[in-house]
Amino acid sequence: MIGPVSTALAPDLAPPTTPGGRGGGTVRHLATKLGGAVVSLLMVIVLGFFLFRVLPGDPVKTITRGAPVGPQQLAALRHELGLDKPIAAQFVDYLAQLARGDLGESYQFRVPVSTLIGERIGPTVLLVGVATALAILVGLWLGTRAAWRRGSRFDRISTGVALLLWSAPTFWLGLVLLTVTGNLFPSQGLINPNTPAGFLPQTLDLLHHLTLPCLTLVAVLYAQYLLVMRSSLLEEMNADYLVTAKAKGLRDDLVRRRHAVPNAMLPTVTLIFLNLGLVVSGAVTVETVFSWPGLGLLTYQALQGPDLPLLQGLFVVLAGAVLVMNLIAELLYQVIDPRVRAT
């Protein structure tokens, strides 16, 4: 037998090598992933710069719209913004600026891009955070139930409804919700300026404003969690170890709770983190419909210009969010799945 032989050798060999080897592997793995993320971010910076130069529209004309300006003034403004230089020179300037940690100044708002993003990130994180948390809860719960009773009426209806909402355009769904609820919920903004100061009324008003945009996002987002959880659990349900668990005398719901669902959750965890990164940018339409003052609305406003420094800054921040979440998903998977840890 191989087992006893190898364990007989183990006291001499295993303790110094095994933990060190495994730890070293993890560090090397982490370094590789981190390096990959940095390379991706550099590519995003390059891509973002050239992509937004191709956009139609002249930022200088947009800035001076409505004002009586002559060609000299336009040229002066162009020189001030550095737009009269060749593209290559502009790119070098941009890189130098980035290296100093400066994202530049917005054409439209005349304030540093970093200040704008800092102001707007809070509402987006609030909206997207709450919506994602709800979508995950609803999606996983419905997905588990649908898989456990595969082919039942509950399964067919919940999966069908989820797919329908998933395919609906977000802005359209938002408008429908606005129309259907009438005056029950405010149609725009974060908070009503007439709300009395104080924690409770302010919070309640915020929640009141949050309801509709949040509902719209949840309706659109939960389907993917439902479907991934459902298919992942269906796959697990055919696994032999569930028969073992049943043979041990476990109750049906314990077989599900202790063995099937935790294992089916593993691929879902990755999906959750991949989406957390994406969803920040995915809120553009919802924020625009409900005039929610977050990064999505800011992106929409920046596109009107095109407000090049603002767009580039947003692009870097949104892409950075995706990269960071991917890294977290990768690391988390190592922690929760022993099979990945070993390789």
Partner 1 sequence: MGEPLLELRDMTVTYHTGRGPVPAVRGVDLVVDTGQTVGLAGESGCGKSTVALAVLRLLPTTARLGGKVLLNGEDVVAMKWGRLRAVRWASASVVFQGAMHALNPVRPVGEQLAEPILLHGGAGANTVSSRVGDLLEQVGLPARRARAYPHELSGGQRQRVMIAMALACDPQLIIADEPTTALDVMVQAQVLDLVSRLVSELGIGLMMISHDLSVLASTCQRLAVMYAGRIIEQGPARQVLQAPAHPYTKALSAAFPTIGDPESRLAPRGLPGDPPDPSALPPGCPFHPRCPSAFADCVDTDVALRPVDTGRSAACLLEVRP
Using CB under 8 A as the criterion, which residues of the chain lie in contact with partner 1 when the complex forms? 1-4, 7, 239-241, 243-251, 259, 262-263, 266, 337-339, 342
Taking the complex as a whole, how short is the minimal distance between the CB of residue 22 and partner 1, in angstroms? 11
- Cβ proximity to partner 1, 99 vs 247, nearer residue: 247
Q: Quick one: 26 or 304, whose CB is closer to partner 1?
A: 26
Amino acid found at 112 = P
Shortest distance (Å) from residue 300 CB to partner 1: 44
Q: Given the complex with partner 1, which of 236 and 307 has the nearer CB atom?
A: 236
Q: Closer to partner 1 by CB, 26 or 244: give it.
A: 244
- Which is closer to partner 1, CB of 65 or CB of 339? 339
| Minimum CB distance to partner 1, residue 141 (Å) | 21
C-beta of 7: minimal distance to partner 1 in Å? 5
Distance of CA 48 to the CA centre of its chain: 18
DSSP state of 296: H
Smallest distance from the beta carbon of 262 to partner 1, in angstroms?
Answer: 7
Token pair 């183990």 in the structure block, residue: 10
C-alpha R_g of the chain: 26
The structure tokens listed for 242 are 């569930």
**Residue 148 near residue 257, CB atoms below 8 Å:** no
Nearer to partner 1, 9 or 38 (CB): 9
Q: Which residue number, 205 or 236, has a Cβ lying nearer to partner 1?
A: 236
Of 44 and 255, nearer to partner 1 (C-beta) is: 255
Alpha-carbon gap, residue 278 to 296, rounded angstroms: 12
Measured from the CB of residue 304, what is the shortest distance to partner 1 in angstroms? 50
Q: Which two tokens stand for residue 94?
A: 């941009």
**Helix 113-148 to helix 261-282 angle, to the nearest 10 degrees?**
150
How far, in Å, are 74, 95, 249 from residue 70 at the CA level? 6, 32, 86
Following DSSP, what letter does each residue of 7-62 receive, concatenated? HHHHHHHHHHHHHHHHHHHHHHHHHHHHHHHHHHHHHHHHHHHHHHHHSSS-HHHH
Nearer to partner 1, 125 or 250 (CB): 250
- Structure tokens that stand for 162 in this block: 């989820």
Q: Which residues pair with 105 in a beta bridge?
A: 112
Q: Rounded to an integer, what is the distance from CA 222 to the centroid of its chain?
A: 14
Name the minimum Å distance from CB 14 to partner 1: 10
Instruction: Give residue for tokens 């990959």.
Output: 36
Q: Where are the alpha helices (DSSP H) in the chain?
A: 2-54, 59-63, 71-81, 87-99, 113-148, 153-167, 170-181, 199-237, 240-247, 252-254, 261-282, 284-289, 295-304, 308-336, 338-342
- Distance in Å, CB of 230 to partner 1, minimum: 19
Minimum distance, C-beta of residue 261 to partner 1, in the bound complex (Å): 12
Token pair of 244, please?
A: 């073992």
